[in-house]
Amino acid sequence: MSSATEPAGTEATDDDATVLAATAADATGSVATATATGTDPHASVYDHGFLRVAAVTLPVALADPAANAERHLEVLRDLDAQQVGLAVFPELSLTGYSLDDLFLQEPLLEAAEQAVLTVVEASAELMPIIVLGAPLRAQDRTRVFNCAVTIHRGRILGISPKQNLPTYREFYERRWFAPGDDAAGEEVRLGGELYTVEPHSLLTVEDVPGLKLFTEICEDMWVPVPPSAEAALAGATVVVNLSGSPITVGRAEDRKLMARSASARTQCAYVFAAAGEGESTTDLAWDGQTFVYECGDLLGESERFPRGVRTTVVDVDLDRVVAERRRQNTFDDNRRTHADSLEKFTTWQSTRLFGPWEPGDFWVEGAATGGDEPGVGVPDGGEPGIEVPGVEVPGVEVPALRTPPATGPLRRPLHRFPFVPDDPARLAQDCYEAYSIQVAGLVRRLEAIGGRESGGTRPVIGVSGGLDSTHALIVCARAMDLLGRDRSEILAYTMPGFATTEHTRSNAELLSRAIGASFETIDIRPASTQMLKDMGHPAGSGEEVYDVTFENVQAGMRYDYLFRLANHHGGIVVGTGDLSELALGWCTYGVGDQMSHYGVNAGVPKTLIQHLIRWVISEGLFDAGTAEVLRAVLDTEISPELIPTKAGEKAQSTEDSIGPYALHDFALYHQLRRGYGPAKIAYLAHQAWGDLEAGEWPAGYAEVDKRSYTRGEIKHWLSVFTRRFFSNQFKRSAMPNAPKVLAGGSLSPRGDWRMPSDAASRAWIAELEREVPEA
């Protein structure tokens, strides 16, 4: 395993299963993190920008807060063992939601307040930040608020009142509760202490970068401008919703629609927990639905109508939330538009998930809105001062800083092939849309340059019998169908070189003839030999010197012919190169496969193209003979076929040369779409590819092709990807027009990706070497 430099004064005491990332806040509140030598940097999700959250529903004992407090703690002890950092319970979870006029009874309210204190006391030994529901009396005792109470490590960090109280249809909440939207600064009394009610408070967690928590309650998400929308603009990255929400037919999907749209629109994580078993069924019913969305994606959900406790435990990607907001500049534009309204939001409290949590913790008095706040302070009998790594202040000895616990595998959907959905129905839908986008792009381009009618501009394409040219050819065929033109107007050429096999050459001819294209063979070997000879290259005289010049002479010769043939026949060269090849620079620049008049595959990664061809077969878009040839192409190993192979030698393989497309496409997606650095990409890749048996495989993926990768292999090929991605930007800067196909992004300099062609990859490679272990 790789080693990281250990900060002075930090002693490694944990074993390799625990990530020793020492975290401390200096007097200004900044956070420093270090990883101790000899530890596993992949042991904890918290070291890679994730937060483990739990949305919980549990059987409620109606009007029995003491019993409910114990039930909460039973669940919380289990969640603590699972290293959950945030646990969210339903609305009014300490009493039950369906109590009607009992909410106005003193015995219930007294018991509810005592139940809160019971959980607070027990929370000192528990890791999760707890958000639960309780009715709490205002200090003047004339009002009751429906509250979410946020608790951590023996402290109440926030009390958020429900802002929007429904009093329509089956709801009658204003009969019992006071609206919380204007309750800022109001106080409630718990155990002899006064606590401020804050409808617009945000909780910052200092040692979990990117985590800022906001709480809303049930109806708050159903109004036209929910509190969470403004909270997100004010900085909240995780929104929790404690819900009572009785169930009727169709309401479960409505909840998910609301939460999904909120998480997508505000680029946040949305954690939802609804009341279930134990609520009164006098007039209503309850389903105990829980789920978590992140930026519009469902991370997990639990069984509905359960008997007993149900939890949705998933790992939320805070890095993704932050990166999406950074990239989507209109998010910040919207913040500026609503700046006046956002002034009411405050970071009311802060905490640290991992400690220190010792007697005499350090709290500073005088937070902006009252109460104590984690920071620099003085324990009883101590002198002013605090010690943090790198800062020496006389006075107080700080308890040992705690580190993120080992968490085990990542708990969230993580696809081996991020461009290829695991769900067969979704994969079929994506293939339909991708193929249709490619065809529509080519149709429009042909229409614009005289290809609307028969005899007009013709598609000119080089076919090799490989995946890319095969798919581009069937795109051309469909485009001609839509234009009402005969497929014979497609001019398909195969141009065998020094290493072309009869298998691929035959596939190219069979496919071209099967779909009805005009087909010709042009042997490029004589012209290539002459060029090599004219250049003084040894291969021109028959020597076995098979260098990059030898390869590129062939690749360039093919496209030189194609461009001249297009001139000669009044056509355009249809590019066949794909998104993965552009990312890696696996294409010959200039008059080579980097260039064309119009590209149809440039927005499609290599790992998706085989599924597109399978989809075309399954949909019966071509006849049985064509489908048979397409299957033969799918069974052929990817190869440029540029270097001759002697008897008994293995033929040239693209993936032997530049690495597995599966890993390269994984890296491409997470760098291009998510903006992650190599350390996080390597962590995710090992989670996705480290175990052959874990997770799902896309429909139709051959058993023989399934494999796993070690961290050493992942690190090696990620280094290859990173170096090639940077060094080959100049090819992408000059790429031809081609439609963007996937939300995962494109590499067009006019689209998703812009970078200088002479940028250095040194910082990325340094991170990879420093933070990713070999084994």
Q: DSSP letter string over 259-323?
A: HHHHHHHHT-EEEEEE--TTS--SS------EEEEETTEEEEE--SS-SS-EEEEEEEEHHHHHH
Q: Is 706 a catalytic residue?
A: no
pLDDT tier at 357, thresholds 50, 70, 90: low
The torsion defined by the Cα of 534, 540, 541 and 544, in degrees rounded to 10, comes to 150
Interval 360-378 mean pLDDT: 38
Measured between alpha carbons, how far is residue 113 from residues 69, 95, 101, 295, 665 in Å?
Answer: 11, 10, 17, 36, 54
Q: What is the pLDDT of residue 39?
A: 63
Considering only 119-133, 339-353, 489-503, which range has the smallest mean pLDDT?
339-353
pTM, full prediction = 0.87
Helix (H/G/I), strand (E/B), else coil: 136: strand
Token duo for residue 361:
């913790």
Higher pLDDT: 685 or 643? It is 685
Say if residues 320 and 670 touch (Cβ distance below 8 Å).
no
User: pLDDT tier at 641 (50, 70, 90 boundaries)?
Assistant: confident
The proportion of the chain whose per-residue pLDDT surpasses 90, expressed as a percent, equals 79
Span 217-259, pLDDT tens digits:
999 999 999 999 999 999 999 999 999 999 999 999 999 999 9
Prior bond to 356 cis, omega within 30?
Answer: yes
Phi, psi of 86 (to 5 degrees): -145, 125
When the pLDDT of each residue in the chain is averaged and rounded to a whole number, the result is 88
Helices (H), 516-653: 525-535, 548-569, 579-584, 606-618, 624-634
365 noted as active-site residue: no
Q: Give the pLDDT confidence of 154-168 residue by residue, as tens digits.
A: 999 999 999 999 998
458-486 pLDDT tens trace: 999 999 999 999 999 999 999 999 999 99
Q: What percent of the chain has pLDDT over 70?
A: 89
Give the lowest-confidence range in 386-390, 691-695, 762-766: 386-390
Please tell me the distance from the alpha carbon of residue 200 to that of residue 343, in angstroms, as a whole number.
10
Tell me the average pLDDT across 727-754: 95
Q: What is the band of 457 on the pLDDT scale with cuts at 50, 70, 90?
A: very high
b/e 408-441 (16+ beta carbons within 10 angstroms → b): eebbbebbbbbbbbbeeeebbebbeebbebbbeb
**Tens digit of pLDDT for each residue in 61-108?**
999 999 999 999 999 999 999 999 999 999 999 999 999 999 999 999
Mean pLDDT of all residues in 532-548: 95
Query: How far apart are the C-alpha atoms of 126 and 119, rounded to whole Å?
Result: 10
Are the beta carbons of 190 and 113 closer than 8 angstroms? yes
Query: Which of 312, 279, 306, 274 has its CA nearest to residue 293?
Result: 312
HSE (side-chain half, CA atoms, 13 Å) at 736: 25
Can you tell me which residue has the tokens 């019966």? 620
Point out the catalytic residue in the list 113, 147, 162, 268.
162
- Which stretch of DSSP H or E encloses residue 655? helix 654-658
User: Is the Cβ–Cβ distance between 371 and 195 less than 8 Å?
Assistant: yes
| Dihedral sign from CA coordinates of 603, 607, 613, 616 | negative
pLDDT at 360 over 90: no
Query: Do 265 and 221 form a contact (C-beta atoms < 8 A)?
Result: no
- What pLDDT band is residue 401 in, cutting at 50, 70 and 90? low
Q: In the annotation, is 91 catalytic?
A: yes
DSSP 687-715: HHHS-TTSS---TT--GGG-----HHHHH
Give the strand pairing for 598-599 and 571-575: parallel
Q: Which of the following is catalytic: 206, 216, 218, 731?
A: 218
- At residue 477, the 3 state secondary structure works out as helix
The stretch 534-557 carries a mean pLDDT of 95
Region 370-377: what's the mean pLDDT?
A: 39
Local confidence band at 403 (pLDDT 50, 70, 90 cut-offs): confident
Residue 356 predicted with pLDDT over 70: no
